[in-house]
Amino acid sequence: MEKWVKQTTSIILHQGVNLSGFPLLCMKLCARTLALFFAFAFAVAAHAAQPTFEQRLPNGLKLIVKPDRRAPVVVSQIWYRVGSMDEVSGKTGVAHVLEHMMFKGTKAVPAGEFSRLIAAAGGRENAFTSLDYTAYFQQLSKDKLPLALRLEADRMRNLQISDAEFTKEVKVVMEERRGRTEDEPQALLYENLAAVAYRTSPYRNPIIGWMDDLQNLRADDARDWYKTWYAPNNATLVIVGDVEPAAVRRLIEQYFGPIRPSRLPDRTKRREPTPRGIQRIVVKAPAKLPSLLMAYHVPNLVNVQGDSEPYALEMLAGVLDAGASSRLTQRLVRERRIANDVGVGYDALSRLPSLFTLSGVPSEGKTVAELESALRAEIDDIKQNGIGQDELERMRAQIIAAQVYQRDSMFYQAMLIGEYETIGYSHRDIDAINEKLKQVTPAQVQAVARKYLIDDALTIAVLDPQPLEPAAAAKSGGGRHGR
């Protein structure tokens, strides 16, 4: 299950998972789309060169302002360096539940008033929770920025969490879990695989929480989470749009400056033990078709300049699955017709080591075992014979296209800056990482395939489809639900 797909969807759904810093490897760009991206390049270059302002307030809040004067609008995002990975056993889901509670009001701004005020100002707002962070955003006319900042600063430390509102909202989250995980076979498959693949890593727990934990959460759990983590010295505020940095700085000092910092807990996490052999699980769930999910333990990016393997793994993911001409789509879907669909996922940008996943649904008349054998054969082919320079060049073209795409969106510019800063990099690393990706060689891709895509580091999950209930069988594709 591709992390980029999971996380982008979850932002829309208000459920939240980490937006990938390397979306280019999950974007399936057709030739026409690629040409359109390049057509934007010259227009984008002018505003992309605008200097970025950065300042840390005495209370620890980090402010990053990137002027973009193409339209009289502004994007405001506040990123807290706390996500579901920071939860303790028995209290999974509290990060996401607290995200919901952040819209339930303060003494100055009662429940529902935050969203009403933003909407009345012609803006839009939402939030998302991930493994690594939690973020809140508003997008509105530039003259309404003071409103967004005043509201955001107020709920940073003045949130009111009543027992009644918490009980109501946790039931909403439990219903989300039923609809988006327990009733969604692919999500259920990934959740079960993660719980087995990881032994000690907090990534083994679902962002939305285990149902039993949600049933036992109390309002005090949310209050403790809020008091512990929601503080200026655990946050980065990103502003992108038609603004003057000096004016924004004055607003930030006015609204956020008086807020006191907190003493943050130790973030030491246990290291994941070295995997010792292949693991297999079968997940039974109502579904029309069987499916396969394979996951290998791989490293994340720690040192932007010193690391090389995470970049090679990103390129390997792209070579396998980044468009109609990628290896898996071309060979397994089109030529051999073993699979109806295949996918590869990897995200180097994360606070802890993650997984390199391959997934697929076998074609009619084919089995999961045949699909697994075919996927393994493609991996073995790269291990033995490597990849061609032409395959890497196609990926380089997509990198350039993605850079243009990223910078054409104010919202996405802010997303990149916020994610990089919150995970532990710098927003100045964005271009450096893209350049490092472009420098990857075929030999490096072959080397990481040989080193990491091995059985000792592999977990395999198979979805065993069970008969659908009449209501489920008649159900069309899942709808999008907001907060």
Catalytically annotated residues:
99
CA angle, 472 as apex, 469 and 473 as ends, to 5°? 85
Amino acid at 474: A
d(CA 48, CA 461): 43
Contact predicate 131/355, CB 8 Å:
no
Distances from the Cα of 470 to the Cα of 181, 205, 248, 384, 440, angstroms: 19, 31, 56, 48, 51
For 408-428, give the DSSP string. Answer: T-HHHHHHHHHHHHHHTS-TT
Cα distance between the two ends of the chain: 24
Distances (CA, A) of 410 to 65, 242, 369: 12, 10, 45
**Distance separating alpha carbons of residues 293 and 6, to the nearest angstrom:** 14
Angle at 69 between CA 38 and CA 52, to 5 degrees: 85
Q: What single-letter DSSP state applies at residue 481?
A: -
Helix axes 442-452, 389-407, angle to 10 degrees: 90
Asked if 344 and 320 touch (Cβ cutoff 8 Å), the reply is: yes
